[in-house]
Amino acid sequence: MGKKEILFVMGNGPSLKEIMDNPKYLNIIRQNHSFGLNAAYRAYDKYDFYPTYFGCFDYVVNESHKENFEKLVLSQNPIQKFYFIGNAQQKQNLFKEEVRNNEKFINFNFKTVPFGNKKIDVWPKDYSLKNLTHLGSSGVDACQLGLLMGYKQIYLVGCDCNYIDKFSDNIGIKGNLYSITDDVNHNPNYWFDDYQIKGDKYNKPNGDTTQINSWKRLHNYYYKNTNIINLSLNSKIPYFPKMHISSLSLKIGIYGIFIKDYIVFLASYLDSVTKYFLPGTAKKFLIATDDIDFVNKFKNKYNIEIVKVDYIGWPYESLYRFTYFNLFDSNLHQDCSHLYFLNSNIQFNKIIGKEIYPDESGYIFGKHNAFHNKNYDDCSFEKNNISTAFVPKNSFYAYCGGGLYGATRNNFIKMNTLLRNNIYKDENNNYIAIWHDESHINYSLMFY
């Protein structure tokens, strides 16, 4: 994905600390666009980090931080746009004219939509900065602004919703209005202890009600417009798939074969794999095809390497996959941590996350749905010992399909070379395994 397609929405929950204190993880956010919120500005100088956008959508917090927000707008910093809603009475007129007239200060307003049990569409055709819906929390409102700006991939960081209501005796409470009455030594609700300081005012967190419901609204009414993944594994938000940010620092290589009629699947394949298969993880597509001109049309959008192969006829386009993969210069995937093969007609309809990474063996295979829990005799193993794909009955583990498998880079290369050579040996004996390449993959399960 390009930089302008990804937005990190930065909540301020405790889980954000792991990212901010890890230069490798923080650099992932630096290399993309981000949206910072509320009192996080207090730590930006320390980390030499500023988000692309910054905002606050809470009337009480806007009033409490008014002077500091104004200084932030008027100071020299890399933040490109500021989104401050102001307070309930004055709205954005809370801020002095010099601030409101700053080119980075964005004018917008919320409208109120009655959310109830009835599902309604809150994404009107005239959706704009003049027609925004306040969904109930700053993180959610940052997401809807990201949608409005056209981001197709949003990652949530620090969006935990694990609030402890009154975590200190130095909190004054007047109804739903809270205030910090004295210095707080440790704040369990945020990623740095002085996120809130003496004199700060804020609304009662209501993590299990107002906050969670706001994310539910985002999921119900807006989620179809983008892909949202929560990078906080301990977050209470249940509506979006989760993965760890470390997955985003990896690059994987994906082999695909698009020959003859199978070329029609290429567009949907690239879209589906990019969106759902380890989304956000950098991908290099390694495509074997007899139609280079057609595949080249997609290289401006996807990272694709191509090898030209000829159409021979069934079953060779599948049987020779291991030969095709060896045609690629190994330097093309030297920067990939893992390599996978995915069938050309494969389609994903939900997120495939970290569970697709190999276990300690270094390999991962997908069980064939037609032979799940079947015994050896009912499975389609190669049972003729003339073949190098022969699987004896006492070595039976499970029958796997050939449409999806993967391994760490070196293990993938090792297995691919073995199976390519085994197929050559079978051909020298005038033999083709019963289910071609799939038979050889099942043979490899005895070792991997």
Ordered by start, the domain boundaries in the chain are 3-165+205-245, 247-444
The CATH homologous superfamily for domain 247-444 is Spore Coat Polysaccharide Biosynthesis Protein SpsA; Chain A (3.90.550.10)
* pTM recorded for the entire structure: 0.69
Q: How far apart are CA 356 and CA 360, in angstroms?
A: 13
Query: For 149-181, what is each residue's pLDDT tens digit?
Result: 888 889 999 999 998 888 888 888 888 899 999
Which class is 3-165+205-245 in CATH? Answer: alpha beta
Query: For 408-419, what is each residue's pLDDT tens digit?
Result: 999 999 999 999
Q: How far apart are CA 25 and CA 11, in angstroms?
A: 15
Query: For 135-154, what is each residue's pLDDT tens digit?
Result: 889 999 999 899 888 888 89
- pLDDT at residue 243 tops 50: yes
Helix (H, G, I), strand (E, B), or coil: what is residue 157? strand
Q: How far apart are CA 66 and CA 68, in angstroms?
A: 6
Cα separation values, 295 from 120, 261, 337, 355, Å:
41, 13, 24, 30
Query: For 353-383, what is each residue's pLDDT tens digit?
Result: 878 988 888 899 999 989 988 899 999 999 9
- pLDDT at residue 272 tops 70: yes
| pLDDT at 225 (0 to 100) | 59
Residue whose C-alpha is closest to residue 159's, from 176, 177, 139: 139
Give the mean pLDDT of the chain.
Answer: 90
Contact between 242 and 235 (Cβ < 8 Å): yes
| pLDDT at 125 (0 to 100) | 53
Per-residue confidence band for 446, with pLDDT thresholds at 50, 70 and 90: confident
- pLDDT at residue 121 tops 70: no
Query: For 291-334, what is each residue's pLDDT tens digit?
Result: 999 999 999 999 999 999 999 999 999 999 999 999 999 888 98
Q: How large a percentage of the chain has pLDDT more than 90?
A: 67
Query: Phi, psi at residue 420, to the nearest 5°?
Result: -60, -45
Contact between 196 and 42 (Cβ < 8 Å): no
Helix (H, G, I), strand (E, B), or coil: what is residue 360? coil
CA dihedral 7→12→16→21, nearest 10 degrees, is 110
Which residue, chain included where needed, has tokens 């500023």? 50
Residues 6+ apart with CB under 8 A from 12: 37, 38, 39, 40, 158, 190, 191, 195
The residue ranking higher by pLDDT, 330 or 258, is 258
Q: How far apart are CA 31 and CA 16, in angstroms?
A: 17
Give the other-Cβ count within 10 Å of 407's Cβ.
23
Give the other-Cβ count within 10 Å of 355's Cβ.
10
Per-residue confidence band for 117, with pLDDT thresholds at 50, 70 and 90: very low
| pLDDT at 120 (0 to 100) | 46
